[in-house]
Structure formats: C-alpha cells, structure tokens
Amino acid sequence: MNAPAPSFAQHVVLAIDDGSPESASLVVVIAEAPDTTVHRCSRGYDAYDHAMRVAPTVIVLDLERREESQYVLERFRRAPETEGVPVLVVGSDLDTDRAEAFRLGASDYLERPVQPAELRTRCLLHSRAYLASVERHHALAALQRVQVQLRQALRENEDLRSRAARDAGDKAPIERWRTRMSGLLQVGIELNQVQDFHTLMDRILDESRHLLNADAGTIFVREGDRLRFAFFQNETLARRTRSGETPPMQTFRIPINERSIAGWVALTGQPVNISDTDRLDPSLPFRFDHSFDQLLDYRTRSMLAMPLKNRLGRVLGVIELINARDDQGRSRDGGFTDEDQALIEHFASIATVALERTHLTESIIMRMIRMAEVHDPSETTPHVERVSGYASILFEEWARRRGLEGANLERQRDRLRIAAKLHDVGKVGVSDRVLKKPGLLDEHERGEIERHVIIGGDLFDDMPTDYDEAAREVALMHHERWDGTGYPGILEGGQRRGRRGEEIPVFARIVAICDVFDALSSVRCYKPAWPEERVLDQMRSERGRAFDPELIDILFDRLAELRAIRAASPEEPD
C-alpha cells in the first residue's frame, strides 16, 4: 500500500522516543505549532510501519538506545518511501554520536537537554523544506503537462493555418508560425533547466522579448498586496551605455489596484494589449504613467502586459513587453498583434511553472540556510544573498576574460549562485556551544569548526546533478588558500597538505573571497564591522596569499557593483 500524499498545508511529525515524560513534554511543544499533527512511536523497530501509515513530513528520533537509533536511520534511508523525509536526531553532546548520526543520514542534530522552542522551530524548518521539495516534483510534472498541451496546440494551429494558406495560396504565415512555436517549445525545455530565481527571471524576460521582437520589457514580482519592479531590459537604453547592457534601475513597489496597468493586470488576472499609450480609452480605470519614460528619456508607445499565473490561478507577477518592432527593428504600427498575444499566453504558462519551481528550489535552499543560522548567528540570509551576488559579479568578469558567454555562462553562473548560498551549510553539524562561543576558541574547538567543510561537502556527496557537484566543491573547499595553507586539504604521501593555486576549483576561490569580504564588512559576535578602507587593505594584502590574484584584481575593478549589492541586502534589525 502506498503512503498517503502529504498535504502542503499540514506538517506531520513522527516522534520516535522511549516514552519518557521528558519526550512527552517535547511532543506537546511541537504540537503547539500551527498546522501541525504529531504521532508518537515508542519502539524504533516499528517506526517504519508507523511512517507508512501517517506519511510524516519530518521525523524526530529521540531514543537512548543507540543500536535502535542506528537501525531506524538505516531503515529509513534504505526505503524509497522515506529516504527523502528529514530526520532530526536528539542525542548526547558527544561528537562521536553526532558524527555517526550524520553518517547514517540524519538531517539535523540537537543536544540534550533540548530547548523546546528550538526543537519546534527546527521541526517546522525541515517540514517546510520537505513539503517544498514534494511540491517541486509536482511543479515539474505540471511543466511536462504544459509542454504536451503546447505541442497539441501547435499541431492544431498548423492544421488550421495550412487550410487557410491553401485557400489563399500563401505559405509564409505557416512557416513563420511554425518557427515561432518551435522556438517556444525549445525555450520551455531550456527554462526547465534553470535553477536560480534571478537567472530564470532574466531569461524569461529576454526570451519573451525575443519571441515578440519587443524593444524593452519589465517583470513585476508579487509581494503580498504589492508588485515589486524587479527586472528590466531595454535595448534602446543599452545602446547608449559603454557596456552595451541595460543600466541598473532602482527597485520600487506599486499597489495592486486598478490605477496602474500592472496593478490592474495583477488584480484581474487579465492581459492588456495597448497599441498607443497616448490614446488610451478614457473609460478604462488605469492610466499609463509617463514619469518613468521622462526620467529615462524614452518613449513607450505599445505595450502588452500579461499576468504570470500558477495552476491555481494565483498571480505571481506581471510581465510587460514594450514597443513592438518589425523585422527591420522599426517601431511597428498597431503594436502587438493578436498572434503575439496568443504566443505570449502560451509562453506565460510555461514561464510561470518554471518560476514556481525555482521559488520552491529557492525555498529549500533558504530553509537549509536558516537551519545553519539557528546554529550560527553570523550565517544570516542577507549574508548569503550578498555572497551569492558578489560571486556572480566576480565570475561574470572572470568568464568574460576567457570568452565564456551565452547559455553556457548563464548555466555556470546559475550553479555558482546556488552553491555560494550553501557555502556554510555544514555548520548544522557543529556543536552550538562552539559556534556561539563569544570568546577565543581553543585548538580543539578550532578543529571542530573546521569540520564544517567536511560535513557540508558530505551533504552533497552523492552528486546526482552538476548543481550538487558545485555545492559540494564550494562547501568543501571555500577555506582553502591560494598559498596552500588552508583546509581541509588533501592526503598526499600519507601527509595532509592544503590545496594551492588552481588546484582549488574556481567557484571555491570566488566564494572564499566573497565570504571574507562580507564578513569583514559586517558585525560579528567577536568584532564590529570594519570600515571599507580597512577591508580593502586586508583583501589587497592577501592577494597571492589567501586569494587568487586575478580574482582580487576583479574585485577592485567591480567594486561599485559590489557596493550596490551590499546596499540592496542590508542586515535585518534584531
């Protein structure tokens, strides 16, 4: 019999314990969490059968009997029905017990005596991450269904157009439609391969502009009852810059209401096709705001705004395509056609499923980061966002110098962004008393801290995808040093030595720089934030010692962009 599918609004906790009063009190604490059901099992050897009945989204293993705990972990990790369910082990403060638990497949470890609030928080974090991974599989299945429907629509449209062309004696419209729809199918396949949210949104905007030959485009992302101006591309403005790239725009938010075009589209879930923004029907509730055009010295004439809706009909954002052009790149009279609108409706359905999937991937990553943050207060969400952003900037310049561009560059940058966010996730396996110690660490404690790179690398050791491989490299090697004095190093002739120079993968070399640059610039429990001049002096002094000299040069070349990233992701107030 198959286990029941988990509800995406319900956390189901299976507590496997010895039946002690202490365990019972912890169960009560967990059950107080919203939308949470707790089932208890007092015998480890019955735990698998119990899990099959209740379909847990997280398992808490709190058994004094070590052999029984090992049996439960091994049994759960062997069974395909439970191998993905996170297991939080409650145990002693012995390092050997902690290491054994992680070796056998534990997702997290709490030392006795357990703080009830921390246990409840970690249960919810793991449960949400698991539910997000299940939902991600559903999203992938939905994307495949959309692709099938799109192919069917392509065949039906070809049949209709073929009959119409035979009557008219003109084959050109058929070929143009077939080319655009075939391109759309290929885009859907490629979007399914993108994992990082920022990379995906840029790609969605770029591909939609290409499909409709639009000069510019924007994407608004829904955040509660407002839309955030998040992504912007404009070929006319890009041609005015030295780099050939659209200049960065400051983000802003608009309310979801009838007064703006994007707000109306998000509110109603209906598309808007405007041939001339200066000649809007006065009976329409919305108006076009020309202030943005005036600021940029740009003229928006035609616009096609489309909601990005998920399969439940919820609007996740709005995409606006601006200024339709003909095949020669000239402004097209009449704006976007009905065929353009039909095409972008198909594209929006594909893009939204891919967008929802990346949201889920991002959710899983952020849950892992928050679990590390529970252990280490310095491992904050803004910190990892900044490190990821810095890393993208450094990698783009490093890749440009080597002629890497296009889809290959995007994919590698995508891998790096995800890996950079997970660089310190191995800290979940380090004792809280060490991570949160305010004073200097002794030699044993430093050794325990250094183990986080091994634990982090092991989390991705199976390497089922190249994203996991990138995460493993970064987690394992971001504390190696260019001069070979870092850790964990490699065994050579029975002796351990640090990796040096280009023995360290470039992703790990980049993240090493970005992690230190941000840490020095930020408040830590053991120091205040350094002024920028002191940070830069330190980074310069480590050129060719701790850090790759070329990458340090790139850091200084792109310093303005790094400052902008830091300003965009400040630390959250306590």
Domain holding 463: CATH number?
A: 1.10.3210.10
493: left (phi over 0), alpha (psi -120 to 50) or beta: left
Please name which of 130, 533, 167 lies closest in space to residue 368, comparing C-alpha atoms.
130
Is the pLDDT at 8 greater than 60, yes or no? no
Asked whether residue 123 is assigned to any structural domain, the reply reads no
Specify the number of domains making up the chain.
3
Question: What pLDDT does residue 572 have?
Answer: 63
Residues 38 and 176 in one domain: no
Per-residue pLDDT of 129-158, as tens digits, reads 888 777 666 555 555 555 555 555 555 555
Tell me the residue type at 433: R
Please name which of 304, 299, 301, 300 lies closest in space to residue 336, comparing C-alpha atoms.
304
- Encoded tokens for 388: 């990821």
Domain extent at residue 525: 376-568
Per-residue pLDDT of 318-373, as tens digits, reads 999 999 998 888 888 889 998 888 888 877 877 777 666 666 666 666 666 666 66
Task: For residue 383, give the DSSP letter.
Answer: H
Beta-strand relationship, 490-492 and 226-234: unpaired
Last residue of a domain, one of 300, 330, 357: 357
Residues 291 and 142 in one domain: yes
Tell me the residue type at 173: P
Residues 383 and 351 in one domain: no
Residues 381 and 453 in one domain: yes
Q: 402: which residues sit within 8 A by CB, 6+ positions away?
A: none
Q: Which residue has the higher pLDDT, 83 or 150?
A: 83
Q: Tell me how far apart the alpha carbons of residues 97 and 109 are, in angstroms, rounded to a whole number.
A: 10
Asked whether residue 368 is assigned to any structural domain, the reply reads no
- Encoded tokens for 191: 């979007």
Residues 138 and 166 in one domain: yes
Element (H, E) at 319: strand 315-324
Asked whether residue 31 is assigned to any structural domain, the reply reads yes
Question: What pLDDT does residue 507 have?
Answer: 95
Residues 414 and 561 in one domain: yes
Largest Cα separation within the chain, whole Å, is: 86
Asked whether residue 153 is assigned to any structural domain, the reply reads yes
Per-residue pLDDT of 177-215, as tens digits, reads 555 555 555 555 555 555 556 666 777 788 788 888 899
- Encoded tokens for 528: 């205040």
CB atoms within 10 A of CB 442: 11
Per-residue pLDDT of 400-455, as tens digits, reads 898 887 767 877 888 898 899 989 888 877 777 777 776 778 888 888 888 889 88
Q: Which residue has the higher pLDDT, 161 or 447?
A: 447
Asked whether residue 127 is assigned to any structural domain, the reply reads no
Asked whether residue 366 is assigned to any structural domain, the reply reads no
Is the sign of the CA dihedral 457, 458, 461, 462 positive or negative? negative
Please name which of 403, 400, 369, 357 lies closest in space to residue 143, comparing C-alpha atoms.
357
Beta bridge partners of 261: none
Residues 82 and 152 in one domain: no
Burial class (CB in 10 A: 0-12, 13-18, 19+), 89: buried
Residues 51 and 176 in one domain: no
- Contact criterion met (CB below 8 Å) for 167 and 391: no
Residues 353 and 381 in one domain: no
- Contact criterion met (CB below 8 Å) for 394 and 517: no
Residues 230 and 307 in one domain: yes
Q: What CATH code is carried by the domain that includes residue 341?
A: 3.30.450.40
Asked whether residue 42 is assigned to any structural domain, the reply reads yes
Nearest-10 crossing angle of helices 506-521, 532-541: 150
Residues 103 and 138 in one domain: no
Per-residue pLDDT of 521-562, as tens digits, reads 988 766 788 999 999 999 999 999 999 999 999 999 999 889
Beta strands in 175-241 (DSSP E): 214-223, 226-234
Residues 451 and 317 in one domain: no
- Contact criterion met (CB below 8 Å) for 287 and 280: yes
Asked whether residue 389 is assigned to any structural domain, the reply reads yes
Burial class (CB in 10 A: 0-12, 13-18, 19+), 478: buried
Region 260-268 average pLDDT: 95
Helices (H), 233-337: 235-239, 261-268, 291-296
Q: What CATH code is carried by the domain that includes residue 69?
A: 3.40.50.2300
As a whole-number percent, the residues of the chain with pLDDT over 90 amount to 28
